[in-house]
Amino acid sequence: MDSHVLQEYLDDHAFRIVVKKRKNYLTYEGLQDRYAYVLKSGIIKTSVISPDGREFNLRYINSLEIVSLLRDEYSQFIDAPFNIRVESEQAELYQIDRVQFWKDINKSKDLQMYVKDYYRVRLMYSMKKMQQMLMNGKFGAVCTQIYELYDTFGVETAEGLLIDFVVTNEEIAHFCGITSASSVNRMMQQLRELGAIKIQDRKILITDLEILKDHIIL
């Protein structure tokens, strides 16, 4: 998604920059907030909590993007739709009054198009994620999540495709709706035995992307 329109808007305004350290939360699901946030730098993770208290990860974000849904145009305060936690050493986020943000959007056709694209991309992502979770099974869900991590953090190296970010098996379990990290441990071991991945300095190195794809309904 082309974010130059959003960047130009941010550059034209002196919005407050919020700085959060690793493992700190920007907001919690259900907490009322009057601001919209845009990630400036760093890595954050969005997640929700199930009724029985289990955490379900939604996605990592590591580039310029609106990270809190805008909801309606008129309510000064809204309930945060999910948790937002910092996963890098620190993250910087633009903090924008949400009602003013909507007024500015309504004045700019370029911003309107960006927001429409934002919602379209997020909707398509959510639909695809749901399809993959329902159709792939647990092993396929883990393969899907590794592939998604490659999309987000992948770096080509002489040995393969390095996911240049440390992601624990517990976090992968939370992305896949798997209750036990030990189940993910076994699946990761299976992928190593198949020759699909290696672990290098606690990071996942994909040595055969096709093996992963063979277990994914894309």
Residue 16: how many CB atoms within 10 A of its CB? 10
Is residue 34 within a helix (H) or strand (E), and if so which, with residue range? Answer: none
In this structure, are residues 166 and 160 in contact, taking their beta carbons and an 8 Å threshold? no
User: Domain coordinates of the chain in residue numbers?
Assistant: 3-107, 132-214
Round to whole Å and give the CA distance between 175 and 145. 7
28: its two tokens: 């919690």
**Following CA atoms 82, 1, 88, 208 in sequence, which dihedral angle do they give, to the nearest 10 degrees?**
110
Round to whole Å and give the CA distance between 72 and 138. 36
Is residue 143 within a helix (H) or strand (E), and if so which, with residue range? Answer: helix 137-153
Residue 45's pLDDT is what? 96
Identify the three-state secondary structure at position 99. Answer: helix
Q: Choose among 121, 147, 144, 148: nearest CA to 131.
A: 144
Could you list the pLDDT tens digit for every one of the 218 residues in the chain?
678 999 999 999 999 999 999 999 998 887 888 899 999 999 999 998 888 888 899 999 999 999 876 565 555 555 677 899 999 999 999 999 988 998 999 999 999 999 999 889 888 888 877 777 777 789 999 999 999 999 999 999 999 999 999 999 999 999 998 988 899 999 999 999 999 999 999 999 999 999 999 988 76
Round to whole Å and give the CA distance between 167 and 178. 15
Round to whole Å and give the CA distance between 165 and 7. 25
Identify the three-state secondary structure at position 217. Answer: coil
Tell me the CATH number for domain 132-214: 1.10.10.10
Give the architecture-level CATH label for domain 3-107.
Answer: Sandwich (2.60)
